[in-house]
Amino acid sequence: IMRFTVSASSGRARLGHLALSGGPDHPVAMATPGYLIYNRCGSDPHLPQSPAGILLTPLNHWLDKLALLRQAGNLRQLCRLRPDRQLLLSLTDHLDYYPTPGVTAQHVGLPTRSGKAPLTVELQAELTLLTSPELVQPLADCEIREGDGRKRARKSVDRSLAFYDRFTTALEQQGGLGGGGPALMASWVGGYSAEERLRCLRELESRGADGLVVEGFRYYNQPVEDFRLAQCESVLTEALQQQQRSQPPRPLYFPGLVHPADIIRAAELGFDLFDGSLPALLTRRGLAWLTSATGGSWWLHVGDVELLTATDRPLDPGCCCRCCRQFSLSYLAHLSLSNEILASILLMEHNSARLAAFFNELRSAIESAESLGGLATKYAAAVVPPTAAVAPLANDQARLKDDEA
């Protein structure tokens, strides 16, 4: 169901091609380094249709909606997903905090709106069959706290391997593996212990995992924009050298990296897939990602009264998205200041287009064998500010109160 080929490389960065057969009529291919499409409950946060590609479908969104999912019997039909949308069934939405302690030998606790919900192997197998994803991330012990040592790291590897084995067995028993089943994206855990990371990698390779998902680096409750690749890079170095030699190549997915410079650096280290959550993260804070840094900043806070006079120019002159082609920056600022939902929709269109352009730039740089260092320097200042630093677009509760007479 999945074919991953590497076509070129520049240093350790590699250009790849990930093909998923979504049935005979809908083969889907994406170029790597690339990104998975962020969505919540089958919908892009603000756009009427998610962009085409592989939709990141975290189970923590669905654990409090099991009755509905079972009633519908088919997640794609329920969410009206077009046939050319492929799914990666993952564990937790990386923009949600990790409020869950609670990994035991039997289950993993995932955060839902109604609190922590347990995910067992059996439940995940059932949900995999209900969802028919092309890619699935078997449950794993991804939890890490600051200060956890080798002992905790070892336990997370042991537990995750056990979950992996039991999951694949359960899936086989329920008839979900083999030619028509999903590819397995195994969680690569091991905390901050280089030895455990290496051990986990070897064990997963020997089990023939189709791909790897890096987990267990972001600390419990650490906000996603606080996490930087530098926090964990050294732990992975040795393991990555080993991984690069393995054949056939398997796609490496590093979720939870939102800063563009970190994505570039991770691509340099050989990672292929990233979560495309940056547009949602920026949009929910009313920030637009510009084509070129203006006044030293890559981000523009659109809900700014000063921008109301910008009637003669779009949000971003270098961008061709609908928001920038049809509307002035003044109108976008006005919508944002007025707490209008349309502000989020237009901003999301722009930020999604911007992310796509960024990845094109990244792939072009690898293809032309440029050193990615130059690109990293360019985006070094593109640091997503912490939540408290930016006034967000009014949340839904505030909008409901904002009634017209």
Chain positions contacting another protein, by CB under 8 A? 40-48, 61, 65, 67-68, 71-72, 77-80, 113, 280, 284, 308-309, 311-314, 317-318, 320, 324-328, 330-331, 334-335, 337-338, 340-342, 344-345, 395-396, 399-400, 403-405
How far apart are CB 57 and another protein at their closest, in Å?
14
Q: Is 1 exposed, middle or buried (0-12, 13-18, 19+ CB in 10 A)?
A: middle
How far apart are CB 40 and another protein at their closest, in Å?
5
How far apart are CB 74 and another protein at their closest, in Å?
10
Strands (DSSP E) contained in 63-138 are: 85-90, 107-112, 115-120, 135-136
Q: Is 374 exposed, middle or buried (0-12, 13-18, 19+ CB in 10 A)?
A: exposed
How far apart are CB 41 and another protein at their closest, in Å?
5
Alpha-carbon torsion 188, 191, 192, 194, what sign?
negative
Cβ–Cβ under 8 Å, residues 333 and 307: yes
User: Is the CB of 24 or the CB of 48 nearer to another protein?
Assistant: 48
User: Is the CB of 103 or the CB of 337 nearer to another protein?
Assistant: 337
User: Is the CB of 97 or the CB of 327 nearer to another protein?
Assistant: 327
User: Is the CB of 16 or the CB of 45 nearer to another protein?
Assistant: 45
How far apart are CB 322 and another protein at their closest, in Å?
9
User: Is the CB of 229 or the CB of 343 nearer to another protein?
Assistant: 343
Tell me if the bond preceding 33 is cis, omega within 30° of 0: yes
User: Is the CB of 171 or the CB of 333 nearer to another protein?
Assistant: 333
User: Is the CB of 67 or the CB of 147 nearer to another protein?
Assistant: 67
Cβ–Cβ under 8 Å, residues 57 and 79: no
Distances (CA, A) of 145 to 82, 104, 190, 191, 216: 39, 16, 12, 9, 9
How far apart are CB 45 and another protein at their closest, in Å?
5
User: Is the CB of 181 or the CB of 314 nearer to another protein?
Assistant: 314
3-class state of residue 279 by DSSP = helix
For residue 57, the number of C-alpha atoms closer than 13 Å in the C-beta half-sphere is 29
Helix-, strand-, coil-residue percentages of the chain, each rounded to 5:
40, 20, 40
363 phi-psi bin (left φ>0, alpha ψ -120 to 50, beta other): alpha
Which letter does DSSP use for residue 138 in this model? -
User: Is the CB of 79 or the CB of 125 nearer to another protein?
Assistant: 79
Alpha-carbon torsion 264, 268, 273, 275, what sign?
negative
CB atoms within 10 A of CB 404: 3
How far apart are CB 222 and another protein at their closest, in Å?
20
How far apart are CB 197 and another protein at their closest, in Å?
33
How far apart are CB 313 and another protein at their closest, in Å?
7
